Amino acid sequence: MQVVDNIIGFLKKVTELGVALLALAVVLQVIFGSDVAFIKVDVVGNLTSVIQSLGDGGLVGLIAAAILYSVLTKKSIG
């Protein structure tokens, strides 16, 4: 069981790192525009596209957004 707990802990840390990097990329793109030197993709455009596709999905999109929210905000009890 210790191995599973280690893997889950590692995945949580990787997810936290990904969310932090995503937030940093959004802030940098808002401040400096789309020509940020080390970000080669349009982060804000991609996020807008994902949100748009979730909205186009209707109820399925709402359920998917709720699942994503619950996964990203889930706190460990122990």
Q: What is the CA radius of gyration of the chain?
A: 16
Contact (CB, 8 A) for 26 and 47 = yes
Residue 67 vs residue 6, higher pLDDT? 6
pLDDT tens digits, 8-55: 889 888 988 888 888 888 888 888 877 777 777 888 888 888 878 877
Q: For the whole prediction, is pTM greater than 0.85?
A: no
Q: Tell whether the torsion through CA atoms of 59, 63, 66 and 72 is positive or negative.
A: negative
pLDDT at position 75 is 55
pLDDT at position 77 is 45
Residue 39 zone, left/alpha/beta (φ > 0; ψ -120 to 50; rest)? beta
